[in-house]
Amino acid sequence: MRKEKVYISQETVKRLSLYLRNLRRLEKEGVRVICSDRISELLDVSPAQFRKDLSYFGEFGKRGVGYEIRRLIEELEDILGVNKQWKIVLIGVGRLGSALLRFEGFSKFNLKIELAFDIDKRKIGKVINGVKIEDVQRLTERVKEEGVKVGLISTPPQVAQEIADRLIEGGIKGIMNFAPVTLKIPEDVFITNVDMACELERVIFFLNNEGKVKTDSKLLS
């Protein structure tokens, strides 16, 4: 039974994506059906959490049996929207940017970067992984032209805000930002920050507070 109005938390969405990836792997390994207990062993998620995450979107399992993997993969692809083709643009083809352009973790899962932009004349015109690098001057118009909806920002932090503004002007509705700055964006645009320095500092915090800290919800004495 589909719910009237449900708030889906970001944590739930992250987990859905995690489920999908692991279900695909299981299917490849020949598994046909799986129960929430088994999922729980594989991922770091309680069985109840798994069932509840799915329950926001419908009933996909069979009581006493489990979940048919093929069916669940399709449902999750549908929920996340990864079965549709979303045009993705990358801005900033530096070392991180070119790694992203060729990242198998994207391409393997139907996430293909289709346009790339840089300011460096020496890079413009080059082709990386089938994508021709274009002049960032033309960013807004090209984004409009191609109807791109998702942008990855891997520029230096100083220019990230300007790039974001231009992307949004071009009609971008979702941004994944690798630049270590907090971008100002309108309410109707979604942003996720991949902040590697913060993540690494989080690891260091744990080490630095060792003994004073409990493993999951950190206890400080």
Partner DNA sequence: TTTTATTTGTTCCTATTTTCACAAAAAGTA
Partner DNA sequence: TACTTTTTGTGAAAATAGGAACAAATAAAA
Ranges within 41-80 binding DNA (CB under 7 A) = 46-49, 51-52, 54-55, 59-67
Distance CA 41, CA 24 (A): 16
Q: Does 10 bind DNA (CB under 7 A)?
A: yes
Distance CA 65, CA 33 (A): 8
Of the listed pieces 40-48, 96-104, 150-158, 203-211, which binds DNA according to CB under 7 A? 40-48
**From 28, 30, 44, 127, residue interacting with a second copy (rule: CB under 8 A):** 44
Dihedral angle over CA of 212, 193, 52, 213, nearest 10:
0
How many CB atoms within 10 Å of residue 59? 11
Q: Output 11 or 162, the one with its CB closest to DNA.
A: 11
Distance CA 164, CA 184 (A): 8
Q: Output 47 or 157, the one with its CB closest to DNA.
A: 47
Binding mask 70-109 for a second copy (x = CB under 8 A): ---------xxxx-x-x-x-----xxx-xxx-xx-xx--x
Binding partner at 66 among a second copy, DNA, none, C-beta below 5 to 8 Å by kind: DNA
Interacting residues with a second copy between 111 and 170 (CB under 8 A):
111, 149-150, 152
Of the listed pieces 35-43, 88-96, 102-110, 145-153, which binds DNA according to CB under 7 A? 35-43
Binding partner at 29 among a second copy, DNA, none, C-beta below 5 to 8 Å by kind: none
Rg (CA), the chain: 20
Angle between helices 47-55 and 10-28 (to 10 degrees): 110
Binding partner at 221 among DNA, a second copy, none, C-beta below 5 to 8 Å by kind: a second copy
Q: Is the dihedral of CA 136, 156, 85, 58 positive or negative?
A: negative
Distance CA 99, CA 158 (A): 21
Residue 111, CA distances (Å) to 8, 84, 184, 205 in order: 23, 10, 26, 33
- DSSP H stretches of helix in 56-188: 69-80, 95-102, 104-107, 139-146, 157-169
**From 95, 105, 122, 217, residue interacting with DNA (rule: CB under 7 A):** 217
Q: Output 103 or 190, the one with its CB closest to DNA.
A: 190
Residue 157, CA distances (Å) to 154, 179, 189 in order: 8, 5, 19
Interacting residues with DNA between 154 and 173 (CB under 7 A):
none
Residues forming the site for DNA (CB under 7 A): 1, 7, 9-12, 35-37, 46-49, 51-52, 54-55, 59-67, 217
